[in-house]
Amino acid sequence: MASPFKSLSYDLVKTVLDMMEFKYADLKDLTKGFPTGSYHRAGMEYRTETQRLLEERYAYYLEEVKRDGWTLYSVPEEFRDREMYLEAVKRSGWVLEGVPEELRDREMCLEAVKQKGGRSLRWVPGELRDEIRAELGL
């Protein structure tokens, strides 16, 4: 699975650090007495660890959403991506209401409408509504 965290935002890294109760000052203390370049190496290790923690957290949230689409609403915004929204609507078509407009493509809407006899059709963008209605015979 490709990581959704290719470029880490400052706020996201700060959130993870706060969760870990880890401060940048601690990193500087860890590298005292090391030759020049140690800050860089320690920073890279720290970034790698942060990346790993973010990916683990993302995987955890994705698994929860796969179990129950409604858990999407408890997932922090920075972890919600197209894949997470798609898994949520596969489990509960009503979640389509909370999917950002720009992500409501044909695949996403079709998966949502398949659930519960097409009740989520009301949240499908107009240009796709008739096409999906015809395809599913609604």
pTM over 0.75: no
Q: In the structure, what pLDDT confidence band is assigned to residue 129 with cuts at 50, 70 and 90?
A: confident
Would you say residue 14 has pLDDT above 70? no
Res. 11 pLDDT band, cuts 50 70 90:
low
Instruction: List b or e across 59-75, with b for residues whose CB sees 16 or more CB atoms inside 10 angstroms.
Output: eebbebbeeebebbeeb
133 or 22: which leads in pLDDT: 133
- Report the C-alpha gap between 95 and 132 in whole angstroms: 17
Segment 69-100, tens digit of pLDDT: 999 999 998 889 999 999 999 998 889 989 99
The values of phi and psi at residue 121, to 5°, are -60, -30
Q: Which two tokens stand for residue 99?
A: 């999917």
**pLDDT score recorded for residue 71:** 92
Which has the higher per-residue pLDDT, 9 or 115? 115
Q: At what angle do helices 106-114 and 82-91 cross, to 10 degrees?
A: 20
Long-range contacts of 81-84 (CB under 8 A, 24+ apart): 81/4, 82/108, 83/4
pLDDT in tens, 45-71: 556 777 788 888 889 999 999 999 999
